Amino acid sequence: MTTGRGLKFGEAGLGAAVLALGAFIAYETLKSPGAANVVVGPRLFPYLIAAGLVIVGASLLREAFAGRIAHQQGLELDFGAVVLVSAGLVVQLLLLEALGWIPASTILFMVVARAFGSRRLVIDALLGLALTAAAFGLFNYGLDLNLPIGGVFDSLVAEPD
């Protein structure tokens, strides 16, 4: 649920985040060593970009307080679904190398489908399994890419080649 007020908060947050990123890059660059014997060292561009970020961030903050908002009528947002989808992605990347592409991505498929309101868990699972297995077959055997089999299964299954 987000109303106009929440969005205004987000707007100010955007300005602050841009500003902070600029300050952070300037600080990191300050810490890094410059280079001798070159006309323009590796630090000039980071400083320019940091300056740009700070100026744009400040101007966004000003706009946020001046009251120009992107969605005038407010915007309803279902944050539960957002958290579910992003959690699905985290689970997939954590399990990818241990369990392998097919199980990890099937879980992702099921979680995202659930976030979009699907309640047919078994069908989602079967469909996800079919899709990820097809991708695995196509990419590993047809296109010579290496999607992980999974550390757990490595000992059971022989190498693809």
Alpha-carbon span 69 to 7, nearest angstrom = 7
Q: Taking CB under 8 A as the rule, does residue 23 contact other proteins? A: no
Q: What's the full length of the chain, in residues?
A: 161
- Least spacing, CB of residue 157 vs other proteins, in Å: 18
Q: Taking CB under 8 A as the rule, does residue 4 contact other proteins? A: no
Q: For the chain, give me the number of helices (H) and strands (E)?
A: 6, 0
Cα torsion 123, 85, 90, 136: sign: positive
- Least spacing, CB of residue 90 vs other proteins, in Å: 7
Query: Which of 84, 153 has the CB closer to other proteins?
Result: 84
Q: Taking CB under 8 A as the rule, does residue 114 contact other proteins? A: yes
- Least spacing, CB of residue 17 vs other proteins, in Å: 8
* Token pair of 66 as six digits: 């001046």
The Cβ of residue 40 has, within 10 Å, a number of other Cβ atoms equal to 8
The Cβ of residue 61 has, within 10 Å, a number of other Cβ atoms equal to 18
Give the contact letters, 67-106, x = binds to other proteins (CB under 8 A), - = no. -x-xxx--xxxxx-xx-xxx-xxx-xx--xx---x---x-
Report which residue type is found at 138.
L
Give the contact letters, 125-154, x = binds to other proteins (CB under 8 A), - = no. --xx--xx--x---x---xxxxx-------
145 exposed, middle or buried (CB, 10 Å; 0-12, 13-18, 19+)? exposed
- Least spacing, CB of residue 9 vs other proteins, in Å: 11
- Least spacing, CB of residue 93 vs other proteins, in Å: 4
Query: Which of 46, 153 has the CB closer to other proteins?
Result: 46
Tell me which of 56, 129, 133, 152 binds other proteins, using CB under 8 A: 56
